[in-house]
Structure formats: structure tokens, C-alpha cells
Amino acid sequence: MLLFGGTIVKVSLTGVYLRYVKEGLRPFLVVAGLILVAAAVMTLWHEWRKPSASKQHDHGHDDGHGHAHEPWVGWLMMLPALALLLMAPPALGSYAAGQAGTISASEISDAPPLPPGDVVPLSLLEYASRSLYDGGKSLAGRKVRLVGFITPGADGKPMLARIIMSCCAADGRPIKVGLAGDVPSAAPDTWVEVVGRYTATTSKDPVNDADIPYLEVASWTQTATPEKPYQ
């Protein structure tokens, strides 16, 4: 319990928790971890205060030689904590994106103008909404910058994706954007930053038959995994 609670506190303070839950849940994780640590410390203190004879009477069964046997299965509780400390699973990526259908973009009919600038940064979800439901009017003649990871499309060609979650990684769903033009030649799960322009090309996601917008890529660069991999 002490190890498990300490692990929760550690991943919460180092930012690793962002691979599994939304940023706003951090305080709850810290409190939960501290409660586990406090409970473990109180349990140890209580056990150490017991007289030796009382401990032997309370714990397991004596083997006839004065040794009490503890149930070893309790030590299995250490495994998930050790796994999280030593080999923390990465954030959801291309495999998860390939298994789930793209999120349907929010319907808009009159999107506000893009802010000034040579290249406008947009989330994949905002680009999809403007592209599919605004007819690309607010994107016409503008360059946009999208950041996401590479995932193979149904035809094997690379697409750009990002996982969107409501609460935790268990409810994460991908938003996908098809790529045309200077398509990135990068392996799946590689994070890239692409700059391009709106194109009216669309396709259907074979998983849920939702529309997938496309971007005409002008340039792209590989980038590091963002601190907040989910949107």
C-alpha cells in the first residue's frame, strides 16, 4: 500500500499521469496517493507497537517452530506499482486510433475568422469542424499548423491523429485528418507538425463511417511527444 500510494503521488507530480487521465484530475490523484501512504504508515506503526506474542497470534499460522507464515499473495499488490514505476505504459497511439472510429467534428455553419498570422495553429478537432461543416470558408487562403501522431489509414497511407478523452484514457477516441501533398514519410506513432492548406477532399472512416477531412500538406517536421498528448 505504501509503494502503491507513493507511486500515485510520484506520477501525479512528475506529469506522467497525463498519459492516463485529464489534467484536472491531478489534485484528486495526489490526495488519493497521500491517503494510501498515510494508511500504510499507520498500519506499520500499529503492527510495530504490538507485542511479539500478540503478533504471532494475530498473523497466519505457526509452523510448530515458532515461525508465523504470512500469506504471500499480498505481495502481488506490488506488481502494478512496480510496473508503473519501471515501465510506465505510453499514451494511446496509432493502434488505438486504428481500432476506433474518428470523432464526429462539431457542426458549425458560420465559423469565426482565423486570427492573423502567416501560419495559424489549430487543433485537429477545430480543423475538422471548419473543414467539414464550414465548407472550408474560414480556411480559404490560409495556412494552418496541426500537431499529431502518424497512424495508417484504411488504405495504408499515413494520416494525422490525436486522442481526445473526456475523463481518462479508457474513454479516449481519435480525431483523424487525412494527408495529401507532401505526405510525411514517418513511422506510425511518430509525432509530427504539419503545415498546409484546406482541401475539399474527404473520406469515410471504415470503423464508424464518419467523415474524415484532409489537409494539403506543404511541409512537415518531426517533433517530440507533447507533454499533454491528449486533447
76-101 pLDDT per residue, tens: 777 777 777 777 677 788 888 888 88
Map out the domains of the chain as residue ranges.
Answer: 2-86, 94-222
Which cell is 172 given?
479516449
Q: What is the pLDDT of residue 219?
A: 94
**What is residue 53's predicted lDDT score, i.e. its pLDDT?**
47
What pTM, to 2 d.p., does this model score?
0.73
The three-state (H, E, C) secondary structure of the chain, written as one string: CHHHHHHHHHHHHHCHHHHCECHHHHHHHHHHHHHHHHHHHHHHHHHHHCCHHHHHHHCCEECCCCCEECCHHHHHHHHHHHHHHHCCCCCCCHHHHHHCCCCCCCCCCCCCCCCCCCEEECCHHHHHHHHHHCCCHHHCCCEEEEEEEEEECCCCCEEEEEEECCCEHHHCEEEEEEEEECCCCCCCCCEEEEEEEEEEEEEECCCCCCEEEEEEEEEEEECCCCCCCCC
What mean pLDDT is predicted for residues 160-176? 86
Give CA–CA dist 48/39, Å, rounded: 14
**Range name among 50-59, 76-85, 102-111 with the lowest pLDDT average:** 50-59
The pLDDT score that the predictor gives to residue 64 is 52
pLDDT number for residue 80: 73
Topology adopted by domain 94-222: OB fold (Dihydrolipoamide Acetyltransferase, E2P) (2.40.50)
